[in-house]
């Protein structure tokens, strides 16, 4: 059974953080030691990030509020709201982002109706609420109330792969299945000032964003597939369980990102690829050096440097990952889908358009996927006949979705 990715769309909140401006704010906090202040400057400057997006509008100098919760521009102080406050904002703002991305992915498949969607899979590790984002999407888009819903929570940066793998399994079991996959993360809710190196690194890297895809075994001439989903694999490295983690504290979620993580990836990345590339010798038994496109999760600049060096990838092959990091930062589970979208938007070339993708997360977990690019995203589609009506579809702007959430 061949399973396709029919659409892939992304969404980000409208508020933009300029990396140099954020650096100056974090470095000026009164509780920092001299070492802490130097670490802030070093981490922010070496992150290879220029801009990030945040759902916390008050985290900019232009915002004014009588009751600031995260940042007081009048004093320049970063505040420290409770986990409850942060999670309450997640329930509101993440809902809007989930809905926006989901609507865009559905709209990109004009041959499908909303009632064709049989499964919804949502992903996030930056907040919790129930009824959750899967429920909110069904209600907001007007999907069949009997649609099967699944939420993958608190897995971390690699969670888009288990979601896509589950979607592929659903479609292999039922050729009529149409699966909507949506990842949305509000990592910036959990930033705070600290002298702790892990916390400083998280504040320098993490951002907010969402991505959504339609996965199905059905292909259509009027809306041909973007990708063929070939295979997925999971590998746990023999070391690193304590080096990458995501814990819940009284004042937000607490990231553990040890400085040894890039070295662990460097030591084990080739071994982590072996199960993916050896699973089917007739189709996949190819050297990794023969793969043209690489969609690497940009967990940080040093991680990308290690992957590029160990796999002997060219600068051109790392452009999608590095550009995603530069423009959007690390958006946890959604990030690798931004990288994949960048590759899909590249002009088609002669020869094999195989894509190898990977992401890393707590455990230390390495998730990999092998795809085949079938069409350039955004390229003109073949002439289509009358598209079907889309019962229940309501086009809503991001802001209006947020106000209803």
Q: State how far the Cα of 80 lies from the Cα of 69, in Å rounded to an integer.
A: 7
Put residue 76 in one of left, alpha, beta given phi > 0 → left and psi -120 to 50 → alpha: left
Q: How confident is the model at residue 65 (pLDDT cuts 50, 70, 90)?
A: confident
Please say whether the beta carbons of 75 and 40 come within 8 A. no
Q: How confident is the model at residue 389 (pLDDT cuts 50, 70, 90)?
A: very low
Q: State how far the Cα of 57 lies from the Cα of 186, in Å rounded to an integer.
A: 12
Rounded (to 5) percent helix, strand, coil in the chain: 40, 25, 40
Q: State how far the Cα of 85 lies from the Cα of 72, in Å rounded to an integer.
A: 16
Instruction: Give DSSP secondary structure letters for 225-244.
Output: -SEEEEEEEEEE-SS-TTTE
Kind and range of the H or E run holding 124: strand 119-124
- Over the stretch 375-388, which tens digit does the pLDDT of each residue have? 888 765 444 333 33
Kind and range of the H or E run holding 265: helix 261-278
157 counts as catalytic: yes
Side-chain-side CA neighbours of residue 314 (13 Å): 7
Kind and range of the H or E run holding 168: helix 160-173
- Over the stretch 84-111, which tens digit does the pLDDT of each residue have? 999 999 999 999 999 999 999 999 999 9
Q: How many residues does the chain have?
A: 405
Least confident of 224-233, 258-267, 287-296: 258-267
Q: State how far the Cα of 303 lies from the Cα of 80, in Å rounded to an integer.
A: 29
Please say whether the beta carbons of 183 and 124 come within 8 A. yes
Kind and range of the H or E run holding 210: strand 208-216
The larger pLDDT score, comparing residue 208 to residue 74, is at 208
191 alpha-carbon distance from chain centroid: 18
Out of 43, 109, 125, 157, pick the active-site residue: 157
Sign of CA dihedral 263, 267, 270, 273: negative
Is the bond preceding residue 131 a cis peptide, omega within 30 degrees?
yes
Put residue 263 in one of left, alpha, beta given phi > 0 → left and psi -120 to 50 → alpha: alpha
- Over the stretch 317-366, which tens digit does the pLDDT of each residue have? 999 999 999 999 999 999 999 999 999 999 877 666 899 999 999 989 99
Residue 402 confidence (pLDDT) = 31
Q: Which residue in 306, 323, 297 sits closest to 264, CA to CA?
A: 306
């Amino acid at each position: 059974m061949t399973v396709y990715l029919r659409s892939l769309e992304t969404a980000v909140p409208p508020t933009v953080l300029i990396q140099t401006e954020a650096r100056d704010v974090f470095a000026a906090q009164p509780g920092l030691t001299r070492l802490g202040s130097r670490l802030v400057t070093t981490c922010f400057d070496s992150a290879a990030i220029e801009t990030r997006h945040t759902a916390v509008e008050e985290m900019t100098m232009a915002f004014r509020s009588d009751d600031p919760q995260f940042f007081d521009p009048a004093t320049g102080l970063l505040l420290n709201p409770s986990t409850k406050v942060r999670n309450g904002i997640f329930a509101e703002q993440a809902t809007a982002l989930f809905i926006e991305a989901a609507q865009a992915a559905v709209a990109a498949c004009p041959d499908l109706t909303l009632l064709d969607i049989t499964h919804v899979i949502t992903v996030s590790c930056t907040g919790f609420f129930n009824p959750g984002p899967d429920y909110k999407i069904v209600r907001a888009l007007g999907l069949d109330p009997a649609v099967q819903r699944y939420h993958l929570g608190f897995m971390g940066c690699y969670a888009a792969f288990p979601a896509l793998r589950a979607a592929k399994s659903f479609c292999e079991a039922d050729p009529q299945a149409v699966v909507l996959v949506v990842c949305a993360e509000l990592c910036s809710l959990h930033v705070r000032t600290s002298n702790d190196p892990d916390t400083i690194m998280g504040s320098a890297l993490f951002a907010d964003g969402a991505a959504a895809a339609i996965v199905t075994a059905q292909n259509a001439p009027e809306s041909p597939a973007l990708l063929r989903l070939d295979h997925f694999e999971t590998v746990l490295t023999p070391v690193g369980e304590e080096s990458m983690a995501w814990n819940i504290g009284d004042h937000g979620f607490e990231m553990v990102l040890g400085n040894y993580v890039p070295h662990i990836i460097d030591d084990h990345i080739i071994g982590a690829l072996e199960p993916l590339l050896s699973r089917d010798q007739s189709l996949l038994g190819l050297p990794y050096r023969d793969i043209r496109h690489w969609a690497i999760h940009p967990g940080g600049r040093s991680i990308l440097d290690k992957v590029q060096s160990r796999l002997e990838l060219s600068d051109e092959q790392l452009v999608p990952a590095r550009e995603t990091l530069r423009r959007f930062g690390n958006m946890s589970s959604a990030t690798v889908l931004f990288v994949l979208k960048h590759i899909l938007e590249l002009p088609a070339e002669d020869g094999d358009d195989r894509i190898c993708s990977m992401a890393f997360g707590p455990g230390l977990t390495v998730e990999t996927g092998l795809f085949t690019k079938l069409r350039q995203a955004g390229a003109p589609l073949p002439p289509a006949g009358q598209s079907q009506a889309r019962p229940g579809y309501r086009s809503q702007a991001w802001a209006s979705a947020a106000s209803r959430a």
